[in-house]
Amino acid sequence: MPPATWLVLGASSAVARAFAHQAASHGAALLLAGRDTEDLERQAADLAIRHRVSATPVAFDARDLGSHAGFIADCAARSTGTLNVFLAFGVMPEQAEADRDPATAAAMVEANFTGAASVLAALAPVLEAQRGGTVVALGSVAGDRGRPRNYLYGATKAALATYLQGYAARLSRSGARVLCVKAGPIDTAMTWPLPRLPFMATPQAFARSLWQRAERGAGSVYLPRVWWPVMGIIRLLPTRIFNRLDI
């Protein structure tokens, strides 16, 4: 049997890089997709040498919706074995910037949700035709409840989580699996401007946990796991109390 292929969408991010190493260490072929093709070429060369797997850079822009059908067709043609997908792209400008500039707000919605829904829609027939495969999508604990600091970002992640529920139900009939990962803060460039946050994971530790969870099946999971009880408490707080908190 040929090795499975993992298509990594947003492969230049720190989490995606760490996940790609996890997949390659288990013998998977890789399609590294993103806008920075020079970075992806360097990353592909490193993975191929380090893990002795096939690693191919592929140009991808989440906001170029018209390109998604052709992009997925190209990836399906390049893949070996079962095609799996890790959706890891997203942007998080400051809420104040999004409030001031409608173009910034629209770009975040388009990248984080519209682009994700578009490329996943193009992917679904491929997964149904192959009668299997795994989709891992990177969500956020920010989607569980709107906070003044990042409520638009949280809204995009809440929308993605709801989309994935229906997407998973559709694909379950063909044997494909969908995992929505509600991530807590990770020590990456996206969180560097923020104050030090509790329970922050390194990309490498997060990717190890993510790979182990992806192998076990579909559904929704908080990572690191400590966020499951934390978010359970936050979701249950009365609104009048929650709105007073500086979180």
Reported as a single tens digit per residue, the pLDDT across 124-137 is 999 999 999 999 99
Q: Span 195-199, mean pLDDT?
A: 63
What tens digit of pLDDT does each residue of 83-119 get? 999 999 999 999 999 999 999 999 999 999 999 999 9
Q: Which residues contact 135 (CB under 8 A, 6 or more apart)?
A: 84, 85, 87, 120, 123, 127, 167, 171, 176, 177, 178, 179
Question: Residue 213 above 60 pLDDT?
Answer: yes
| 193 has pLDDT over 70 | no
Q: Quote the mean pLDDT of the chain.
A: 92
Say yes or no to pLDDT of 246 above 80.
no
More confident residue, 148 or 118: 118
Question: Does position 1 have pLDDT exceeding 70, yes or no?
Answer: no
Instruction: Please say if the pLDDT value at position 216 is more than 90.
Output: no
Per residue, the 3-state secondary structure of the chain, as one string, reads CCCCEEEEECCCCHHHHHHHHHHHHCCCEEEEEECCHHHHHHHHHHHHHHHCCCEEEEECCCCCHHHHHHHHHHHHHHCCCCEEEEECCCCCCCHHHHHHCHHHHHHHHHHHHHHHHHHHHHHHHHHHHHCCCEEEEEEEHHHCCCCCCCHHHHHHHHHHHHHHHHHHHHHHCCCCEEEEEEECCECCCCCCCCCCCCCCECHHHHHHHHHHHHHHCCEEEEECCCHHHHHHHHHHCCHHHHCCCCC
Domains along the chain with CATH numbers: 5-242 (3.40.50.720)
Residue 191 has pLDDT above 70, yes or no: no
Q: What percent of the chain is modeled with pLDDT above 70?
A: 94
